[in-house]
Structure 1
Amino acid sequence: MSQPFATRYPLVFVPGMLGFVRMLLYPYWFGILKALRKGGATAIAVQVSPINATEVRGEQLLLIIERIRRETGADKVNLFGHSQGALTARYAAAKRPDWVASVTSVAGPNHGSELADYLESHYPHGTARGRLLKAVLHALAHLMGWLETGWRGPSLPIDVHASHLSLTCAGVARFNLQYPQGIPLTWGGQGEPLVNGVRYYSWSGVLQDRRSNEGGNRLDGTHVSCRLFAKTFVREAGYCDGMVGRYSSHLGQVIGDDYPMDHFDIVNQSLGLVGKGAEPVRLFTEQAARLKAAGL
């Protein structure tokens, strides 16, 4: 039997803010892990605090990696991080490069999110509007935790303000000073693909491609949300996925940054409703094949 995606090290998937493994019957990585496992990959979806600082999530991820190494016998793992999950994966790789073979950033805000900046200025911490937003997000995180059926473990801490600060452009700039591995030296460029033995990759999409508003996205409410969020962007107003800018997503080897997909399409949500011609699952299977070819 052919096993084109049977990488040397397990593939570990880290969700973004308000992420989950499986909510009731619905998986975060819709159709992706199934396709990878069919091709021989050991693909593991994990859960960290749905809303918290990147460093807190990163420490949680390190404990998970340690357990996966122990249970599988693998020396290292290949990390895939979506959105804030990319920053979380970067933190783990920077802290323990001996445990991580690669980091793949999928629509990661590696230079921050202009949406987070907008919320920072329009819903500031400590104001009535800020407290309302915090309450809504806090309640949503708890609700999603109750509906989580794909992950078992202790209750995970929630800190809305810390999470928000971790995602602003200023917050990520501070993070990058401490953990610069794979970050491009020039805006819009590519970063060093190999640092301390860890390979860094990234890809992302733009919803300004007219194809992203066709196909399944005509029925997808999250696509409408991303189009509304995109109106908050200034620096990358014409090139974003609704939550992360095209160039802000760059890390290490940039596989692509203009796929016709919004921030949710890129991980095949919702129920695979994506724009015309978009193939998010294929991006993951191709990356698994790429990692296998690199001996990872």
Structure 2
Amino acid sequence: MNRIQRVVMTGLFAGVLGGAPASWAGAAKTQFPVVFAHGMGGFDDLLGYDYWGNDFGTFVGEACESRFDTNCNSDLDPGQRAFVAQVAAFQSSEVRGLDLADDIEGFMATTGVSKVSIIGHSQGGIDARKAARVLRERRGATSVAVLASVSSPHRGSPVAKYILDQKPGVTSVIAALARYYGDSVYAPGNDAYAAAKQLVFNDYSSSDGVVTGMKAFNEKYPVSSNYAERYVSLITAQFGGNVNPALYLLKEFLFDIDGNGYCVGDGDNDGAAGCGDGVRNEADDDGMVGINSQQMGRRLRYHDAFFGFDSVTDDASIPTLNDLNAPSRLQSTSMSSVVPQDHVDVVGVGPDAFDEPEFYAALIHYISLHD
């Protein structure tokens, strides 16, 4: 429930019952700072919206210095430290992950901290795995306490393969992404073709001299306690008519991966109908990524409290996924703990009624219990 709606409802109940408005506890301060890693199309905005903000542009990691502050996240401890990293909007995670490691290392040197935790949305959750390994190799010690991914395509996205399959190749890939993300595709340092190839499961082109794709990336940057002490993931999926209007733009040149029957079990994550064992759940994707691609490490459960503070906990019913290339049927198909939002509702793209500040405050509180 949106914080404004909750405040109104709390006030109404307090008035009826003749008591003071109910209060709720916020997130505890994490031991180490939290780094936010953006997905494809970021950094500071996505589709014209603040990437790591609510619908009004307030950064979800901005703690309030006093109770009179308004442009901040009131669910955070006043001492909470958070940092937004910036990497190329359109690049492979090999490149973006190295950029992320550089950003984090500079931040750690400035602040004097020995570790950070990372929250990565979409491709940012993939970049974070490379960054964690690079930081370990550079610093000689594990430098990431908790690595949390949100809506990340750890085993690829059918949207990426669909774009790449369009002819005449590179030109159409860049043009398609430009129609969705705007002219930022053409900014210096971007390589939209490499970005798309990163998010296909298998190596997309065996003749280009470069091995790409999530299968090879997962082997190189695995879930390992050498690189991060705890790996966790939150999974999103669309339900009914809750798809953000921004994602409808994709239908001009892509397809509805939910309607096409996003299958699991064939290993290519290409979204084609009639694949593998044909297993498919209702609402088994978030408009961009299937649930069979999103679990990494422990699956988390998000509880949106009507009154009081939201919570994030481990989902003990789903085993921890350590081998990202070999999820079980349960890990690939279970709708347990799926957050009923589409791919961009959990970041700043509006309009929607999702309470991003409290969602990330709840995740930060979870991190505080494990860092």
CA gap of 1:38–1:196, structure 2 versus 1, over 3 A, is: closer
Partner of 1:181: 223
Stretch deviating more after TM superposition (19-28 or 70-79): 19-28
CA gap of 1:130–1:105, structure 2 versus 1, over 3 A, is: same
Aligned runs of 1:230-241 on 2, under 5 Å?
A: 230=257, 231=259, 234-235=262-263, 238=282, 239-241=284-286
Pick the structure with more helix per residue. Answer: 1
CA gap of 1:258–1:4, structure 2 versus 1, over 3 A, is: closer
Q: Greater CA radius of gyration, 1 or 2?
A: 2
Q: What amino acid is the match of 2:198?
A: S
Aligned runs of 1:1-296 on 2, under 5 Å?
A: 4-22=27-45, 26-31=49-54, 32-33=60-61, 34-35=72-73, 38-40=76-78, 41-97=80-136, 98-121=142-165, 123=166, 127-128=167-168, 130-137=170-177, 143-144=183-184, 157-170=189-202, 171-181=213-223, 194=225, 196-207=227-238, 209-210=239-240, 213-214=241-242, 220-225=244-249, 228-230=255-257, 231=259, 234-235=262-263, 238=282, 239-256=284-301, 257-271=337-351, 273-274=352-353, 278-294=354-370, 296=371
| Mapped contact 1:109–1:248 kept (Cα < 8 A) | yes
Give the whole-Å Cα distance in 1 for the aligned partners of 2:296 and 2:338.
14
Provide TM-score, normalisation by structure 2. Answer: 0.62
| Mapped contact 2:105–2:135 kept (Cα < 8 A) | no
Give the whole-Å Cα distance in 2 for the aligned partners of 1:252 and 1:161.
29
Q: Secondary structure at the match of 1:35?
A: coil
Q: What amino acid is the match of 1:71?
A: T
Which ranges in structure 1 are unaligned for 5 or more consecutive residues?
A: 147-154, 183-193
Q: What amino acid is the match of 1:269?
A: V
| Mapped contact 1:115–1:232 kept (Cα < 8 A) | no
| Mapped contact 1:115–1:229 kept (Cα < 8 A) | no
Give the whole-Å Cα distance in 1 for the aligned partners of 2:232 and 2:73.
20
* Count of residues in correspondence between the two structures: 260
| Mapped contact 1:59–1:92 kept (Cα < 8 A) | yes
C-alpha RMSD of the superposition: 2.9
Give the whole-Å Cα distance in 2 for the aligned partners of 1:264 and 1:225.
13
Provide Cα deviations, 1:103-158, integer angstroms capped at 9, x if missing partner: 1100000111122122233x1xxx42641331453687673489xxxxxxxx7511
Fraction of identical pairs, as percent: 27
Give the whole-Å Cα distance in 1 for the aligned partners of 2:93 and 2:222.
14
State the Cα distance separating 1:72 from its structure 2 match.
Answer: 1.2
